[in-house]
């Protein structure tokens, strides 16, 4: 059913309201007063059925928790715990009396993320842009000049090695067989675990020939179980329909070679890509690209979109600018980018690339400020959750990127609303 509302109009006899005890000039409470919660609730009404199911949690509670979570860069479990301990967080989410119990179970956050989807999360980002413009934290004209850059949003997977992939693939097959009562001649669970341990021992001792031998043995165990499961699954059409996707992924893991493209690096996240960024401390990163668009003057994030397929930066610029225009509601007239965006082929927007010659001193100085996006991305990774994405699938990539932009903008607004030192 549609979300319920938090109603604290009626007073409680032996309790005091939080609004009467807390600092009314606290930046978080000032920020909560700027958000049009009723408008957000009205936009989310279509996502819920009128009659079926129990009433959902209040929109202000769930949207507020998502904002606070990515403002602080916390996990779902930590967010719920801190919410119970922090009365400012509770009042921000619409509770005027101190709560001693968890507002929701941490697993409810994942279900709400799926319910809101990419468009629902983007609606929160649009509301933050409106608040910043209305409070004159940024000017409307500043929304027309942006800085664009891409970064890697790593996925929460282990560093892929052949031995670990074969072992995890074998475990997934044995779990599937146990769940659907498929009898295997031999599961190789004990032998594969011992072989994996030997691989790491031999590599640590720099005995690479013996390590390769154990990897080959692991692949043999995996291949035997894979072929046996395929033979028995093909006899049952219903079971084959369930296992078809999993078997195709595992078959690709078995067949892939070092020189192949579009390899599988993770069993539970098969869409993960290997991206080389040329960093000295980290040669490869596994995840997807994220395109960040921020205002050129004040570093306010207008868009943060996940990009799959490891595309060339120049080919992503048009899509990134259009996404920023949908959020801000303003047409972008000028974009500042680095040299990776050469060949963008955009004519309707003026694009200034680093190192371009023949510019006036004014535009040279503006182009120097393009580098300000680098520390902003660093803050989104260290303070926010752009440094490691824990959300599942491609949809999780889109949602996590937008939530990281929301968290960065909230930190920007709270700094602006903080009282100035005397």
Give the pLDDT confidence of 111-160 residue by residue, as tens digits: 999 999 999 999 999 999 999 999 999 999 999 999 999 999 999 999 99
How many helices and strands in the chain, by DSSP H and E?
15, 6
Q: Where are the alpha helices (DSSP H) in 307-369?
A: 313-328, 361-368
Kindly list the distances between the CA atom of residue 399 and the CA atoms of 35, 198, 355, 393, in Å, as whole numbers in the listed order: 21, 40, 34, 10
- Could you tell me if residue 355 is inside a domain? yes
Q: Which of 193, 222, 255 is the last residue of a domain?
A: 255
Q: Which residue has the tokens 């993770």?
A: 266
- Could you tell me if residue 410 is inside a domain? no
Q: Which of 201, 220, 255 is the last residue of a domain?
A: 255
Q: Judge if 312 and 389 occupy the same domain.
A: yes
Question: Rounded to two decimals, what is the model's pTM?
Answer: 0.92
Q: Judge if 276 and 247 occupy the same domain.
A: no
Q: Judge if 351 and 376 occupy the same domain.
A: yes
Give the Cα separation of 293 and 148 in Å (integer): 5
Give the Cα separation of 60 and 57 in Å (integer): 9
According to the model, what pLDDT value does residue 422 have? 57
Q: Judge if 32 and 143 occupy the same domain.
A: no
Res 7 pLDDT > 60: yes
User: Which band of pLDDT confidence, cut at 50, 70 and 90, is reported for residue 420?
Assistant: confident
Q: Provide the CATH number for the domain around residue 393.
A: 3.30.420
What is the mean pLDDT of the segment spanning 56-78? 94
Q: Judge if 86 and 201 occupy the same domain.
A: no
Q: Judge if 46 and 190 occupy the same domain.
A: no
Lowest mean pLDDT among 64-78, 113-127, 342-356, 405-419: 342-356
- Apex 304 CA angle, 291 and 391, nearest 5: 105
- Could you tell me if residue 141 is inside a domain? yes
Residue 149: strand pairing partners:
292
Helix, strand or coil, per DSSP, at residue 156: coil
Residue 34: domain span = 18-117
**What count of other Cβ atoms lies within 10 Å of the Cβ of residue 234?**
12
- Could you tell me if residue 54 is inside a domain? yes
Q: Judge if 148 and 281 occupy the same domain.
A: yes
According to the model, what pLDDT value does residue 282 have? 82
Res 163 pLDDT > 90: yes
Lowest mean pLDDT among 13-22, 108-117, 209-218, 391-400: 13-22
Tokens describing residue 115: 């319910």
Give the Cα separation of 206 and 200 in Å (integer): 10
- Could you tell me if residue 263 is inside a domain? no
Give the Cα separation of 227 and 248 in Å (integer): 12
According to the model, what pLDDT value does residue 298 have? 93
What is the mean pLDDT of the segment spanning 338-365? 89
User: Which band of pLDDT confidence, cut at 50, 70 and 90, is reported for residue 55?
Assistant: confident
Q: Judge if 177 and 153 occupy the same domain.
A: no
Q: Judge if 101 and 179 occupy the same domain.
A: no
Write the DSSP string, 248-296. Answer: HHHHHHHH--TT-SS----SS-TT-EEEE---SS-SEEEEEEEEEEEET
Q: How, if at all, do strands 273-276 and 145-154 pair?
A: unpaired
* Beta carbons of 289 and 276 less than 8 angstroms apart: no
According to the model, what pLDDT value does residue 54 have? 78
Q: Judge if 210 and 62 occupy the same domain.
A: no
User: Which band of pLDDT confidence, cut at 50, 70 and 90, is reported for residue 419?
Assistant: confident
What is the mean pLDDT of the segment spanning 178-191? 94
Tokens describing residue 336: 């500042």
Give the pLDDT confidence of 371-407 residue by residue, as tens digits: 999 999 999 999 999 999 999 999 999 999 999 999 9
What is the mean pLDDT of the segment spanning 96-120? 92
User: Which band of pLDDT confidence, cut at 50, 70 and 90, is reported for residue 187?
Assistant: very high
Interacting residues of 339 by C-beta distance below 8 A, sequence separation 6+: 353, 354, 355
Q: Judge if 145 and 174 occupy the same domain.
A: no
Res 219 pLDDT > 90: yes
- Could you tell me if residue 290 is inside a domain? yes
Q: Which residue has the tokens 């929304």?
A: 143
What is the mean pLDDT of the segment spanning 31-40? 94
Q: Judge if 276 and 373 occupy the same domain.
A: yes
What is the mean pLDDT of the segment spanning 22-34? 94
- Could you tell me if residue 267 is inside a domain? no
The count of domains in the chain is 3
Give the pLDDT confidence of 315-332 residue by residue, as tens digits: 999 999 999 999 999 999
Give the Cα separation of 99 and 15 in Å (integer): 11
What DSSP character marks residue 1? -
Res 53 pLDDT > 90: no
- Could you tell me if residue 306 is inside a domain? yes
């Amino acid at each position: 059913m549609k979300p319920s509302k938090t109603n604290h109009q009626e007073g409680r006899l032996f309790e005091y309201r939080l609004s009467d005890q807390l600092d009314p000039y606290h930046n978080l409470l000032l920020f909560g007063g700027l958000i049009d919660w009723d408008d957000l609730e009205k936009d989310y009404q279509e996502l819920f059925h009128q009659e079926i199911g129990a009433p959902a949690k209040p929109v202000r509670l769930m949207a507020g928790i998502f904002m606070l979570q990515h403002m602080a860069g916390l996990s779902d479990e930590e967010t719920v715990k801190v919410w119970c301990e922090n009365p400012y967080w509770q009042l921000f989410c619409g509770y005027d009396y101190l709560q001693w119990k968890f507002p929701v179970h941490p697993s409810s956050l994942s279900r709400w993320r799926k319910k809101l989807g990419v468009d629902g999360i983007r609606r929160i980002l649009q509301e933050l842009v409106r608040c910043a413009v209305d409070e004159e934290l940024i000017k409307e004209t500043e929304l027309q000049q942006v800085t664009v850059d891409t970064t890697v949003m790593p996925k929460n997977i282990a560093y892929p090695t052949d031995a670990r992939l074969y072992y995890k693939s074998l475990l997934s097959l044995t779990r599937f067989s146990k769940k659907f009562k498929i009898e295997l001649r031999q599961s190789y669970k004990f032998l594969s675990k011992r072989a994996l341990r030997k691989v790491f021992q031999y590599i640590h001792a720099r005995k690479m020939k013996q390590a390769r031998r154990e990897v080959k043995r692991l692949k043999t165990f995996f291949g035997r179980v894979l072929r046996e499961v395929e033979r028995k699954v093909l006899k049952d059409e219903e079971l084959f329909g369930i296992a078809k996707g999993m078997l195709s992924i595992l078959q690709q893991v078995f067949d892939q070679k070092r020189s192949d493209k579009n390899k599988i690096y993770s069993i539970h996240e098969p869409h993960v890509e290997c991206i080389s960024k040329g960093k000295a401390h980290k040669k490869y990163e596994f995840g997807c690209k994220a395109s960040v668009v921020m205002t050129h003057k004040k570093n306010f994030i207008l868009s943060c979109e996940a990009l799959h397929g490891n595309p060339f930066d120049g080919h992503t610029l048009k899509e990134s600018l259009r996404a920023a225009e949908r959020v801000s509601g303003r047409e972008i007239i000028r974009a500042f980018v680095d040299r990776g965006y050469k060949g963008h082929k955009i004519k309707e927007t003026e694009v200034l690339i680093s190192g371009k010659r023949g510019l006036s001193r004014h535009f040279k100085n503006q182009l120097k400020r393009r580098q300000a996006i680098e520390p902003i991305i660093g803050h989104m990774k260290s303070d926010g959750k752009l440094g490691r994405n824990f959300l599942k699938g491609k949809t999780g990539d889109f949602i996590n990127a937008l939530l990281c932009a929301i968290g960065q903008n909230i930190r920007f607004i709270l700094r602006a609303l903080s009282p100035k030192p005397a």
